[in-house]
Every structure is written in C-alpha cells, then in structure tokens.
Amino acid sequence: MNFAASLSSTSPLLQVKIRLRTWLVEKDLLKSTVSDICHAPPLTLPAASQGESPQKKARVHSYKEMFNGGNCVRSLQRSKVYEAGGSILWMSPFPAPPEGKSQEYGSVIKPSDFTYSQMVEAQSLFQASDVYHDGRILYPNVIQCMVSVIDPLLGKVKDFPQSLSLISGHLPLYAWWLSVYEALQESADDRLLRLWQAGLTATIQIHLVDSDGQLARLCIASSEALRNLQASNDSLMAFCERLVVLTKSYKVQKQQDVLDRLKKDGVLFQGRAINKNVLVAAESIQRHMSPEARQTLVYLSSKYGTSVLTEQVGKLYKIILMISRLTSSRLPGENTANILSLVLSQIANALDLEILKTSQLTGEGLTGKEGKDAQNITNADDVPIVSLCLTQISVAFNANQSLGLLDDCPKSVKEALSRLLDPQKFRLELDLSFASVQSSGLDPPATTYDEASHMTLDRVKESLKDVTYTGQKANFDPLVDWAFSLADGQLMSSLRKLSLESDISKALVSGDLEVAKELREAMKVFEQVASDTPAPAMSWQQLMEIGHDTEQDADLRKMFKKQEREEVWSRASTVRKSLVSYSSLTNWKRSSLDAAYKASPCVSFTGEMNKKFMLFHLAADLCFEGEKGWSGPA
C-alpha cells in the first residue's frame, strides 16, 4: 500500500484534522474561533513574568525563536532562505506544481514512495524521551520547504504562511499524522499533547526557488541531510529523478562537465561525491523506470528491505544492462522498460512464494559474474536470476503469442492463461486470493502465498470449465496446469537448462526439457480440424516460429502462410482427384451400393493382375453424412 497515495485522498486527513481540532478546543489549547487547525498560531517562548499572562495557563510552549513574517520576507529577499520555529500544519504534504510550472518541477517536488509499514517504522521518531524535560518530543528534522514567489507567502492569517511546499522529509510528517490519529483513537491525552507541542515547534527552513535545477539540487541535499535518520530518507528512485532534472538544468553536453558542476555544487549521494558510474546508472534507472516497476520496488523495499535492490544504484543498473543485452535474442521487439517491470514482478513473486531467498539477491546472484567468462555460461546452476527471469518471460511470451495467432482460440482462454503467465497479473491474482480469505472472515496471516497461488489456480480453472473450442467441449486443465507450474516455480530446474539454449522457441517446439514436453502435451487440446478452410490449420508449433514478430508483422506472415498452405492444398487436391474419388450412399439398399460402385473408377479400371491396383473402400462411419465431413483434411 502506498500511504502517500491513500492519504492524498483528502477525506481521511480531513477527518483527523476535524477530530484533532475538537480535542484541542475541549482541552483549551485552541480558541473555538479558529475554524481550521492550520490557522493555529505557533507556540511561543514562556513569558518572562507569569503574572496574569496567558502563558500562566499554557501547558505547551516553544523552546526557540518562532516565525516572524517581516523577518521572513526580508531574509528571502536578501538571502533566499529563512529559518525559524514554526508549525508543521503550514506544510502542504502533497504539493501540486503551481500553474505554468514544468512537468519536471512536478516530478522533483512530489513525495517519495513510502508504504504504510515504513510509516509505522518512522513513528519511532516521535517517542517521548527522558532526555528532554517532561518527556518532551522534539520534531526530528529540519523541515525543508520552498516558495517560488514571495508575495503570496503569507496567508489569510496575518504573519503566518500557508501551504508551504514540502521538498523533503515527507515520511516524518506522515508518521506524525499517523501518531496523532492513533493517539486520538486511544484517547491518549498526554501523548497527543506532546505531539501537538512537537508539531507547533518544528524548525522550518524556507527557500526561495526560481528554477527546476535549483529545486532538484535542494531536494537531493535535503535527502542527504536526512540520511542519518534511517527511517526517513528518500527513495533511490526519487534521487535518480532529481539528479536527472538537475543535470539537465546545467545545459552542458559533455559528461565530465556535468560531473564537474555536480562537484562544484556539492551534490552528494550517500555522503559521497557523485562519480561517473553513479551518474550513468541514475540516468539509466530513471529512463527505464515505469510506474509499475517503481511500485514493485517500493513493495520489495518495504517488505524485504532496501538492501535487496535499492540500497545502491549498482544492482538496478546491472539488471537493466542484462535485460538490454538479452532482450534482442529472447524477447525481440520488446523494450527494456517493459521487461524490467516484468522481471521485478517476477523477483517479487519468487520471494513471496519462497522460490528465492533474499540472500540470493547479491550482485553476482542477480546478474552473474563479471569479466570475460560472464557471457559463456555452460552450467545450468550458474544461470543468474535475471537471465532465468528472462527465460521464463520468453516462454510465457511464446505461449501467449502462439495462442494469439491460433485460429478460433477462445478469448477467455487467452485471458485466463495471461493471469498466470504475466508476472504482474499473477501478483494481482495472489492479492485477490488474500482478499477473498479476508472477506470470508478467516485470518489472512494463516494463509501462505503458496496457498494463495493454489486458490488462484482453482479460480482460473473454474473460469474455463464450460469453454468450448471449435464448437466442442475442450479440457483446458493441462494447459492451465502448465502455466501455473511456470508461474509457481515448479519448472525452475528445467528453465535453468532452457536458459542455456540459443533458440528458446525451437527448444519449446522440439526440445526434450520438461517445460517443453509439458507444453506440447498441454497444447494437444488445439490439435483439431480447422473449421474455416479445407486446408489444414497452422499448428501452434508453426505459429510459434512467427511469434517473435511484432503483432502486425506476425498477422501478416500468418496470412501469407495460410495462403501458401491453401494453394498447396488445392494442388494436392487436384492430384488426389486423379487418383482417389469419393461416392456417397443415400441408403443401404443393393441398388445404392451398385450405383456407388458404377460411379467409381473401378468399373473402368484396366491393368495386369498383381502389377497395377485400385482399392475400393467402403467407410461405413461416413455413410449418409450430408455435410461431406471427409472433404477436409483428416
């Protein structure tokens, strides 16, 4: 679950705000005339003399100099930055690009990718501590935000800014709101008081930003500053996006010039200056990162940790390089970005189904050894994970494309099999299985991914139980079982050996590997007479040979192949008619049999005994067939 996406739906956040305002008014911490808690004034330092000052009654107060509107404007005009104490309620956690701003601006300023579990982890930043007086909670980081113009900085409430655009540290802010929600649910007044005090005494740093490049640079620097707060640093994907925007803003062509500018500007990644390898890797990751791939990486990082794939740029970059190198031979016509998304889903499925362990996802385990022997693998056990994923995807593509070109293959069969053969769709099916368990009232944690996968298998089989092929009832279970075995990791050993083959399509059609033999056995359901032409239908094996083309080219080649086969069939029929003829019976009377015999070439046959022959055959099972079923290929 992407919490940022769900929280950006205003209703949950709005409900928490309304409940928090009600509690604050009841506790005399907010005047009832303040309709929106975002207009709550920041806390101030304790008064020098208590007397009858309002501070006498105050249970919460600040410990630092607080925001001053006049000072803020003057500082931004002079220095383009202003820092003071303030309220996190002034922050817009989901900043939208102002009208007229570029798409790159929006990609840089958008929140990083976080999940609910990461938010729960970040709540550890808001625990009361004896280190501070009265167990005070201090907001854990300097809040970095920006404005593009000064004039509308101050909102309707005099001297208080409104909707400042947050540029980093989104996760602590989300964790604060989650902590407030839980405290409200538990009626934990003391904790709620401390959280409110922390939220209204945060340190806010406002930057005046006038370009996309400057914004990207600020975002990267802010993220680096947060890196020591392990629960709150931004994602690798966010870094790659921001770095690409920043380097584009330099408007220089040579790579070394870009690196020099980055060094001059003090741009860091994981505490170090950005070198050529990091720059090239970040650009490649950003270029090939689809929304689906990004979502899968967020899932993997949340469930299995960033060390699996996103701790460094190296792993992802090498995965992209291997996909680019092998796609042309195993998946011609497909682009690297699409295949990357499928490979990541494949890895996620394998981890969830315990086909793979996280300890196997080392650099060498993912993409193999480096050096001269890297591409000369002869042992199936040495096939790296990414190569194995590409083989599995290639097998699925070959099967799908053959079914797509097969005449009269029911659409429901193609769709059902894609739910197993497509790694992304298979993930959705697993989620549906878990959802069905949850809705049944059972305990979801008691359901394993293996059990969920078998629930998916049963659901797919059920959807095909009444499907026919060429008007006849067909048993598609063997084909579904084969697709499930592929998705569920049961054919992994066979796939490793298949990865060593130079032509996967040929190996599937005629090879001796288990994955190929089971596919051929499963595809026998389609070995029936074509209903649209007297010429024999093209087999799935022949269709697989043309399946590597683009969809348009494959259809064109299929059409030409079909025409060619019909022409050959027509010529063969002409030759056959000179050698073989058919006569039909209308009944079993002797006169009908005599008429059939006299209509045959037998009566005019001449030849020397035992040297020239003619066969006269009576096929009782074809007698009285009005549709002449024998006229097509047997």
The three-state DSSP-derived secondary structure of 544-581 is HHCCCCCHHHHHHHHHHHHHHHHHHHHHHHHHHHHHCC
Look up tokens 């770095």; give the residue.
Answer: 243
Q: Cβ of 448: how many Cβ atoms within 10 Å?
A: 12
Q: Give the C-alpha distances (Å, rounded to integers) separating 378 from 80, 309, 372, 497, 511.
A: 61, 27, 14, 9, 17
List the domain boundaries for the chain: 3-250, 380-562, 580-631
- The low-confidence residues of the chain, meaning pLDDT below 70, are 1-11, 46-59, 61-63, 95-107, 109, 130-131, 151-159, 227-234, 371-375, 407, 437-447, 527-586, 609, 614-634
Per the rule left: phi > 0, alpha: psi between -120 and 50, beta: everything else, 312 is beta
pLDDT reported for residue 117:
78
For the chain, the farthest-separated pair of C-alpha atoms sits apart, in whole angstroms, at: 138
Q: Which residues contact 402 (CB under 8 A, 6 or more apart)?
A: 523, 540, 543, 544, 547
Q: Give the per-residue pLDDT at 616.
A: 65
245, 213 contact by CB (below 8 A): yes
* Pairing of β 143-147 and β 81-86: unpaired
> What letter represents residue 518's amino acid?
E
Contact 119, 229 (CB under 8 A): no
Contact 519, 512 (CB under 8 A): no
Secondary structure element (H or E) that encloses residue 92, with its range? strand 91-92
Q: How many residues does the chain have?
A: 634
| pTM, 2 dp | 0.66
Residue 423: per-residue pLDDT: 92
Helix (H, G, I), strand (E, B) or coil at 491: coil
- Which of 504, 315, 485 has its CA nearest to residue 391? 504
* Residue 623: per-residue pLDDT: 62
Nearest to residue 477, comparing CAs of 433, 531, 416? 416
Q: Angle between the 336-352 and 313-330 helix axes, to the nearest 10 degrees?
A: 110
